[in-house]
Amino acid sequence: MRRKENTAWWSFQAVAASLAVYMAGVVLACALAKTGEYLFSGFVLMVLAVGGYLFYYSREHDLLQMEAVFSLFWTGGTALSAMKLSRLAQDWENVTWICFALVYVAFILGYEGMKAWERRKSDAGNPVPEKGQKPTETAGGNRTARRLLCCIYAVLAVSAACFLLEAVVIKEIPLFSDKPHAYSYFHLSGVHYFTVSSIFVLPLSVLYKKVKGTLTGREWTVLCLCCGATLAIPILCVSRFQLLLAVLLSVCVAAAAWPEFKLRYVLLVIAALIPLYVGLTVARNHDVEYLNGIFEMKNAATPIFITQPYMYVANNYDNFNCLVRELPAHTLGLRQLFPVFALTGLKFLKPELVSFPIYITKTELTTVTLIYDAYYDFGVAGVVLFGLILGMACRKTASLKERRKNPIALLFYAQLAMYLVFSFFTTWFSNPTTWFWFVLTGVMYLYVGYDRGGKESRECRRRSIRGK
């Protein structure tokens, strides 16, 4: 017991020291930015991002450890934006710097606080399974595998049917359209949630392989056909982001399912995605001159394959700064309740509930950061509370994954990891699609794990009694 307490104490001290270093680095980066040394400011933040990832990764040796992922991608995105390589970028307000730092600190405190609570609960006689415990989903996994396969078929069938319905009603498929923003119009209210749920077929296939183990030639053929069909949907929609989500979500599931998963596999997948990404960019009818005109890079000679991903990360933080500078009053929860208004249809009955302006640097660049709506609703306090709750939720999901009683738990974990990876991109948790996906994952979780430890366990006990 004393050894556990000492380990926990030293772990707490290490985290506290890392947060102290982080805050000191942010103050230095802010000071450098105020003097116009933007590249050095961004460099300091990038060192914090990489250092934070390595620190939290070293504690658990997990590529997708939540604190490590948030450190790398949230702070790393802040670093790229702080370099201000575009003329659209302006000096950040003090409140902007404070929000960017506090959401990270709050996330770490929420995560560590939940972990400490779990440790106390374990010491009190309610054991939490140890990390690395052998997964139970593979034991007698035939039933689990069959149910996973049913999920694959069901999701693919519904998604494909909804895609065809949208194509028939809209009378157009974005890939074959000459409109620059054809995908923006390819939406039927309520139906499109099911269409984009095709992203789950790939990660479900990875879980099927994990549970089933060795696959026959027929099973490989079936999975390949299902995965090919599901990848066709974002390609036909000309949706680069849906394609990235489908592939990277399956990579996250693989990393969570196989501890021996290596970083080089991720790099190989990203390399394979580059040609598809470029091809879809061309298919969207966005030429280089058009994109350069929007991004307004200070160095006009910057190659478009650098400019585009850079701006898709960096400008979102500048959009948040616009919000801080221009917001006249907070909305007290209405922005973050948008999923409720959208999924219940209230947004059509009461449009004023969702009719709030968006503060951005340029009309064409509408993506924002993870904390945009939290600040819109409650200011700095909202950002801190959001970070705390998100950190606690991530830790609870990590615990669920470590128990390994249901393979769909890995899909929950991978989703949250993906939202942290793309924390620079949008307000995931006030997006109705995110909650639709969580509900869909929850339904699959209940279906795949149904009766586990219930009816079947009672039957086993009856057989045991008869045997005696």
Q: pLDDT for 139-184, tens place per residue?
A: 446 888 999 999 999 999 999 999 999 989 888 888 777 766 666 6
Closest CA to 200 of 227, 223, 220: 227
Distance CA 174, CA 167 (A): 9
pLDDT tier at 132, thresholds 50, 70, 90: very low
pLDDT tens column, 414-432: 999 999 999 998 899 999 9
Cα–Cα dist 398/400, whole Å: 5
Q: Is the pLDDT of residue 394 over 60?
A: yes
Q: Report d(CA 243, CA 247) in Å as an integer.
A: 6
DSSP string of 340-371, one letter each residue? HHHHHTHHHH-GGGT------SSTT-----TT
Q: Give residue limits of the domains in the chain.
A: 1-132+301-402, 142-289+403-456
Share of the chain above pLDDT 70, in %: 82
Ranges 50-54, 233-237, 441-445: which has the least confidence: 233-237
Q: What is the pLDDT of residue 460?
A: 41
pLDDT band at 136 (very low <50, low <70, confident <90, very high): very low
Which of 207 and 452 is assigned the larger pLDDT?
A: 207
445, 405 Cβ separation under 8 angstroms: no
At 110 the pLDDT is 96
pTM: 0.87
Q: Which of 128, 108, 106 is nearest to 118 (CA)?
A: 128
Tokens of 401: 């994954």
In terms of Cα–Cα distance, which of 243, 242, 235, 247 is closest to 284?
A: 235
Give the model's pLDDT for residue 124: 66
Q: How would residue 91 be classed by pLDDT, with cut points 50, 70 and 90?
A: very high
Distance of alpha carbon 171 from its chain centroid, rounded? 32
What does the pLDDT read at residue 215? 87
Q: Is the pLDDT of residue 318 over 90?
A: yes
pLDDT top residue among 442 and 7: 442
**Quick one: pLDDT band at residue 340, thresholds 50, 70, 90?**
very high
